Chains A and B, each alone.
Chain A
């Protein structure tokens, strides 16, 4: 089930909230668990076993690590628990990629073609893996107390607002809230507001820009204008799609009393790649820092090792997004620039690049990265790069021009303005009367719902990860 669907907005959401608020406080974790499993099982009931299994093993591993009397037991409990979670992720997400690579190698060496099995990737498995790992490690490090009971932990692991596409919640961020959280009308209305914002970001901006990006990325020889237009369109689509989803998740969390971490903070105003990663998919950045970069040694082993750790973290972060060389290269691209900026002093300086070029350079690097991220293959990405440097000319071809719709351009411009000046614009509305804010929230919700009902099914980009 996806948030921007009729079944969720007019079916699941009102039903779940009614049951949730009708239930006694002590039963609300159970309601969340049942609701979340129903939410996930709506896709396929059989794959709930994967989510359940990972949660139970992670819970047990954390319990053993927490209560271990020796360091050896604790270490092995963590290792086995994390290895299990990674093995599940590896099987579902990377088996086909690895087998395909082996098959290519075998054929290249004159051997037999290896049959690659077709494995269905359970939706949200990547996010669930990271959350399960964070629980094992947080509890074993005693950064967070273990869950009060298995129900609480299963509910955390399957919490439907963030189960499919994040934010990547760490257990320590939510542990207290599972025991104690408040439910107020103000919080609920704030939740509706965030949900409406997210829905509008997805349906009114991202989905209107998407066809433009799709058409241009399908071109075999895009011109300079087309390539940059396509890269811009995808940059806006991805931000509004993913940040929109995160906003909806945060809004849904607020409706049931949870305060999730913010996942985006105007990433397209960044003046460096380092700053970009402090603003983009913040929960993933924090997870990678806490559970990958720091365990690799962080910056404690000298400059060279720091750069390698940064590059390695981002490369693995890229691989986490998908089993494709495009994601690996995208991760490596960001890793290299993070390392380079670190060498320029990004750790201590707020401004890495000269002020005049900082923003355009950062955005250019980000967009170059997004082209690789979006492309179906490395070859397709390089076709776009060829276009971006003008190898196919610069004019907009007539076969593309007639297809460009006014709403695509308006959504692209609106998205660009909001992504760059959004915080300033929001600052200007702080004195808006509360009644007007409330009215505009519901107007936005109605508009987004109309857009939803008027269009066909449109999945979120981050579901594939």
Chain B
């Protein structure tokens, strides 16, 4: 090191300082400044300033992109929250997690479903729980690591718990498995089912309902397929390759878009009652999968959607049962979409 002449060392030192200072100055200029009346005595002002300064660093995005790419391309690894499978498949870590209360939570979940079923039955309403399997369950062949035994048998174990409580639920597993007629039921880089999978599940729900011999208010339903569009799955946030994605992946996926329109048989001024309510999670709530539309199409009837994102399946049911719609115009059928991985978690997320 000392072999380099003093001038070079001086330039390196000054360059080092200037570089750091320039980045710091940029961050300071770009950041949102803390309020003047925030206390410096207990460090509150400093903490707010530091957070803003850190977040405004102009090198943040490039750094995240480079480190994310190194992890993904060199080590086949995602950030905490996702698991990288074979051939670019990504899985949510939630499908691998085993909490200490795993079986106790499953038991409570089954009991809650039985309670809701009994409650609705007393009001003459039929509950149809639809258990959505883990993506890692359906696509186990794309996994690089084995899942814990508890998660591998979770879906079947949960059906046993439901059966013990006299609850009949639909298993969406077969509908989501790829076969000769159907492409992937799940999206490679997303936690959720694909529109194809969503439609397949809607069809088994409709087939089941027909067997129940429940008369639904008829409607004219039309589903139109739109163009395929680029789609970035929710699991990509754990693989932040950014601008380097085009070179190192994950590859860009596309999904088909669908639009469903419903015209009630009574026309504009007909009976406003809707006989089917859908309760569930983001599988039902996100418009990209068009689950409500496919369900309407398969049933040839209108469906009211009470699903919501980010709350698991149980909180939306609590909200639905407390809603004015349920109190004033109760449906005949309630379809309850329940992802398998939520059955072993705490019920209220």
Residue positions of A touching B, CB distance < 8 A: 1, 5-7, 9-11, 13-15, 17-18, 41-46, 184-186, 188-190, 192-193, 211, 397-399, 401-403, 405-407, 410, 433-435, 437-438, 442, 445, 449-455, 457
Within the complex, what minimum Cβ distance (angstroms) separates B99 from chain A? 10
Which among B3, B42, B53 is the interface contact of A434 at CB below 8 angstroms? B3
- Please report the C-alpha to C-alpha distance between residue A13 and residue B25 in the assembled complex, in whole angstroms: 12
Residue positions of B touching A, CB distance < 8 A: 1-4, 6, 8-10, 12-13, 16-18, 20-21, 23-24, 27-28, 40-43, 46, 49-50, 53-54, 57, 59-60, 62-64, 66-68, 71, 75-77, 80, 83, 96, 98, 145-150
Residues in B neighbouring A438, C-beta threshold 8 A: 1, 4, 8, 12
Nearest residue, chain A, Cβ from B95: A402
CB pair A15 B9 closer than 8 Å: no
CB pair A14 B68 closer than 8 Å: no
Assuming A184-B6, A397-B148, A435-B4, what are 9 further A-B pairs, CB within 8 angstroms? A11-B28, A14-B18, A15-B24, A185-B13, A402-B146, A407-B77, A450-B62, A450-B66, A457-B54
Q: Main SS of chain A's interface residues?
A: helix
CB pair B68 A454 closer than 8 Å: yes
Q: Main SS of chain B's interface residues?
A: helix
Residues in B neighbouring A1, C-beta threshold 8 A: 50
**Known contacts A7-B54, A402-B96: A190-B1 contact under CB 8 Å:** yes
- Please report the C-alpha to C-alpha distance between residue A436 and residue B325 in the assembled complex, in whole angstroms: 73
CB pair B145 A405 closer than 8 Å: no
Q: Could you name 21 residue pairs across A and B whose Cβ atoms are closer than 8 Å?
A: A9-B20, A14-B17, A14-B18, A14-B21, A15-B24, A45-B41, A45-B42, A186-B2, A189-B9, A189-B12, A192-B16, A211-B80, A401-B146, A402-B145, A406-B75, A406-B77, A434-B2, A438-B1, A438-B4, A449-B63, A454-B66
- Please report the C-alpha to C-alpha distance between residue A402 and residue B42 in the assembled complex, in whole angstroms: 42
Residues in B neighbouring A46, C-beta threshold 8 A: 41-42
CB pair A6 B27 closer than 8 Å: yes
- Please report the C-alpha to C-alpha distance between residue A459 and residue B25 in the assembled complex, in whole angstroms: 24
Residues in A neighbouring B20, C-beta threshold 8 A: 9-10, 13-14
Residues in A neighbouring B50, C-beta threshold 8 A: 1, 5-7, 42
CB pair A454 B9 closer than 8 Å: no
Residues in A neighbouring B24, C-beta threshold 8 A: 10-11, 14-15
Residues in B neighbouring A451, C-beta threshold 8 A: 63, 67
- Please report the C-alpha to C-alpha distance between residue A437 and residue B16 in the assembled complex, in whole angstroms: 15
CB pair B63 A453 closer than 8 Å: yes
Residues in A neighbouring B16, C-beta threshold 8 A: 192, 442, 445
Residue of A17, A43, A399 contacting most chain B CB atoms (<10 Å): A399
**Known contacts A18-B17, A434-B2: A398-B53 contact under CB 8 Å:** no
Which among A42, A401, A435, A442 is the interface contact of B43 at CB below 8 angstroms? A42
Nearest residue, chain B, Cβ from A406: B75
**Known contacts A437-B1, A454-B68: A45-B145 contact under CB 8 Å:** no
CB pair A186 B1 closer than 8 Å: yes
- Please report the C-alpha to C-alpha distance between residue A17 and residue B20 in the assembled complex, in whole angstroms: 11
Which among B3, B4, B59, B80 is the interface contact of A453 at CB below 8 angstroms? B59
Within the complex, what minimum Cβ distance (angstroms) separates B25 from chain A? 9
Residue of B12, B40, B62 contacting most chain A CB atoms (<10 Å): B12
CB pair A10 B23 closer than 8 Å: yes
- Please report the C-alpha to C-alpha distance between residue A11 and residue B75 in the assembled complex, in whole angstroms: 33
Which among B1, B12, B75, B150 is the interface contact of A410 at CB below 8 angstroms? B75
CB pair B42 A11 closer than 8 Å: no
CB pair B76 A406 closer than 8 Å: yes
CB pair B2 A185 closer than 8 Å: no
CB pair A398 B147 closer than 8 Å: yes
- Please report the C-alpha to C-alpha distance between residue A449 and residue B40 in the assembled complex, in whole angstroms: 28
CB pair B64 A453 closer than 8 Å: yes
Within the complex, what minimum Cβ distance (angstroms) separates A15 from chain B? 7
Within the complex, what minimum Cβ distance (angstroms) separates B32 from chain A? 15
**Known contacts A10-B23, A45-B41: A402-B148 contact under CB 8 Å:** yes
Within the complex, what minimum Cβ distance (angstroms) separates A286 from chain B? 28
Nearest residue, chain A, Cβ from B59: A453
Residues in B neighbouring A452, C-beta threshold 8 A: 63
Residues in A neighbouring B71, C-beta threshold 8 A: 407
- Please report the C-alpha to C-alpha distance between residue A125 and residue B80 in the assembled complex, in whole angstroms: 34
Residue of B24, B146, B147 contacting most chain A CB atoms (<10 Å): B24
Residues in B neighbouring A434, C-beta threshold 8 A: 1-4
- Please report the C-alpha to C-alpha distance between residue A455 and residue B4 in the assembled complex, in whole angstroms: 34
CB pair B27 A10 closer than 8 Å: yes
Within the complex, what minimum Cβ distance (angstroms) separates A367 from chain B? 26
CB pair B10 A185 closer than 8 Å: yes
**Known contacts A14-B20, A434-B1: A453-B60 contact under CB 8 Å:** yes
Nearest residue, chain A, Cβ from B43: A44
CB pair A45 B40 closer than 8 Å: yes
Nearest residue, chain A, Cβ from B150: A399
- Please report the C-alpha to C-alpha distance between residue A46 and residue B8 in the assembled complex, in whole angstroms: 43
- Please report the C-alpha to C-alpha distance between residue A5 and residue B83 in the assembled complex, in whole angstroms: 28
- Please report the C-alpha to C-alpha distance between residue A452 and residue B42 in the assembled complex, in whole angstroms: 26
Residues in B neighbouring A6, C-beta threshold 8 A: 27, 50, 53-54, 57
**Known contacts A15-B21, A185-B6: A454-B64 contact under CB 8 Å:** yes
Nearest residue, chain B, Cβ from A434: B3
Residues in B neighbouring A445, C-beta threshold 8 A: 16
CB pair B13 A188 closer than 8 Å: yes
- Please report the C-alpha to C-alpha distance between residue A438 and residue B71 in the assembled complex, in whole angstroms: 27
Nearest residue, chain B, Cβ from A191: B13
Within the complex, what minimum Cβ distance (angstroms) separates A47 from chain B? 9
- Please report the C-alpha to C-alpha distance between residue A339 and residue B49 in the assembled complex, in whole angstroms: 51
